[in-house]
Structure 1
Amino acid sequence: MNPHKPTAAEHAIGALKLVELHLDFPTVIDRATVRGASREAIERLQQPQDANARHLPALFCALFHRLPRGYVPHVTVTTDPQRPFGVVVTDPADNVVARQLGKTIEGLVELVAAQLPLAGAGEARA
């Protein structure tokens, strides 16, 4: 099992909590520990973010609009430059019904829609 790797924001929150503990209990949490944690958090916050991450809200909205009611899209960026986006779709019972990698938002939405069952008794999807 992989241990949880905190995000940059979670790391910064942890450093701020250490500051609070140091202020309340200076003999328990020493200054060097607080400085080290704060420095690491600042470095992580200043690291460049994945350029494709800014497109995730648009991908989520496009999928959410296209999916049947109750289906939930889960979106992420990948390390593959040819297919930088990943999607997993779950149904109302939390079963995975589609998963796909893609290069563009529009193309990925179409690929995912093609994997879903047709609604009802044969009528076209909305």
Structure 2
Amino acid sequence: MGKHNTIGKMGEDLAVKHLKDRGYRIICRNYRYRKAETDIIARKNDILSIVEVKSRSADFLEDISGAVNAKKIKLLVMAADHFVNSEALNVEVRFDIITIRELQGTYQLEHIQNAFYHF
């Protein structure tokens, strides 16, 4: 497994822990629909959070949250819509981004709620 895959897996695990520590219930990880994939689907009360996790090492200079472009947003919305409809859920859907940056063996995590709107 490449270093970027290791950091990505570690980042998703840290994001899950972060969400659980804040009262979210993890519904699904790596949900796929057609060409779309969501990293984490979590629920807290009547809010379903579709969470995109972006993890980078210290030597990555670009703003991490900027890695979620219009195409990725379209795919996330498509996957979320399919999930909500297939599960017949009556919930508010929110799109979050969790960024994780590895710095000399420690991790900085930022949870951006309502990172974008789907309409």
Higher helix residue share: 1
TM-score (norm 2): 0.30
TM-score (norm 1): 0.29
**Larger RCO: 1 or 2 (CA < 8 Å, sep 6+):** 2
Higher strand residue share: 2
Which structure has the larger Rg?
1
